Amino acid sequence: MIDSFVRDDLRALLGDADPFARVFALEGEVFRAVANRRTLRFETGGRAYFAKIHRGVGWREILKNLLLLRPPVVSARNEFLACRHLERLGIRAPTVAAFGERGRNPARRESFIICDALEGFASLEDLAADWPAAPPAAADRRRLVMAVADFARRFHAAGLVHRDFYICHLLLDLEAWQAGRVELAVLDLHRARIFRRLPQRWRRRDLGALLFSTLDLPIARRSWYRFVRVYTGRPLREVFAREGRFWQRVERRALALYRKGLRKGLVTGSYQPGMPP
């Protein structure tokens, strides 16, 4: 079973009949290389692209995820579907230039996705790296918080869950920012899932991950309240009266991730668990 799509600008590079051999031989700047997945940036025809190449994950990985009640990711199809879904809705994400998948056995399935590189963008994590030493102007921070809340609202309203919804996966258009606009994009959608109606459990996990990834930043409690107000589109009094338990669980999720990050040395420890985020 082979399913593939190649956009016209990549046909000369990949061919039509079976592009897998050419994709697997691509060379460029490698951003990630693990046992079953490789991500690299390459250029051809004066344009830049990112390729994600998935090899078979093996039954051990599949069973591990199933035992943890997590949907296993066995190919690039999740990302392909998520990027196409967001494009149809006008939500910025990488534009798919090529996709391929082959193999009926999920443990040995091979796949790839190639997307246009998002040039002129910076991740919010990189943008905020210097904030502890040099906090941004209050107005800039407020604009960013409100833009992230609106983006998260539209993303979830589209029925998507990211499953790695950290600020490192949210990108800011730097040219638009210099012109006074906040335009965001999302990437790394290989674990994303699309639902007709997004379950609260997945929404809560995404929002908890997003909050966790900001806890080391100099962001006051009122910014979190502003996020909640923009995300829900309702007054805080009404939100917390009707959905207080949901937002408490979002915060507990963020704190649990932070404690785990402390044990693994992934966070600075400047935020003290037990303090309100």
* Rounded percentage of the chain residues whose pLDDT exceeds 90: 77
| pLDDT for the residue numbered 241 | 96
What region, left, alpha or beta, does residue 107 occupy, with left being phi > 0 and alpha being psi -120 to 50 degrees? alpha
Please state, in angstroms and rounded to a whole number, the distance separating the CA atoms of residues 66 and 88: 31
* Rounded percentage of the chain residues whose pLDDT exceeds 70: 96
Are 59 and 76 contacting, i.e. CB atoms less than 8 angstroms apart? no
| pLDDT for the residue numbered 119 | 94
Q: What is the mean pLDDT of residues 162-173?
A: 98
- 234-254: pLDDT as tens digits: 999 999 999 999 999 999 999
User: Among the CATH numbers 3.30.200, 1.20.1640, 3.90.1720, 3.90.1070, which is that of 2-116?
Assistant: 3.30.200
User: 9 pLDDT exceeds 60?
Assistant: yes
Q: What is the mean pLDDT of residues 188-214?
A: 96
- 82-112: pLDDT as tens digits: 999 999 999 999 999 999 999 989 889 999 9
10-24, 98-112, 250-264: least confident range: 10-24
| pLDDT for the residue numbered 277 | 53
pTM of the model: 0.92
CA angle, residues 62, 257, 215, in degrees to nearest 5:
140
Please state, in angstroms and rounded to a whole number, the distance separating the CA atoms of residues 218 and 212: 13
Mean pLDDT computed over every residue of the chain: 92
Please state, in angstroms and rounded to a whole number, the distance separating the CA atoms of residues 29 and 42: 7
Please state, in angstroms and rounded to a whole number, the distance separating the CA atoms of residues 13 and 19: 9
Query: Residue 1: pLDDT band by 50, 70, 90 thresholds?
Result: very low
User: 276 pLDDT exceeds 80?
Assistant: no
Query: Residue 187: pLDDT band by 50, 70, 90 thresholds?
Result: very high
- Mapped onto helix, strand or coil, the DSSP state of residue 18 is coil
Are 96 and 146 contacting, i.e. CB atoms less than 8 angstroms apart? no
Query: Residue 272: pLDDT band by 50, 70, 90 thresholds?
Result: low
18-22, 66-70, 244-248: least confident range: 66-70
User: 275 pLDDT exceeds 70?
Assistant: no
Please state, in angstroms and rounded to a whole number, the distance separating the CA atoms of residues 172 and 101: 31
- 120-139: pLDDT as tens digits: 999 999 999 999 889 999 99
Asked if the 121-264 domain carries CATH number 1.10.510.10, the reply is yes
Q: How far apart are the two ends of the chain, measured CA to CA in Å?
A: 49
Q: Which residues are catalytic?
A: 164
Query: Residue 273: pLDDT band by 50, 70, 90 thresholds?
Result: low
Residue carrying structure tokens 């990549």: 10
| pLDDT for the residue numbered 53 | 95
How is residue 4 annotated by DSSP?
A: E
Per-domain residue ranges of the chain: 2-116, 121-264
- 31-55: pLDDT as tens digits: 988 878 899 999 999 999 999 999 8
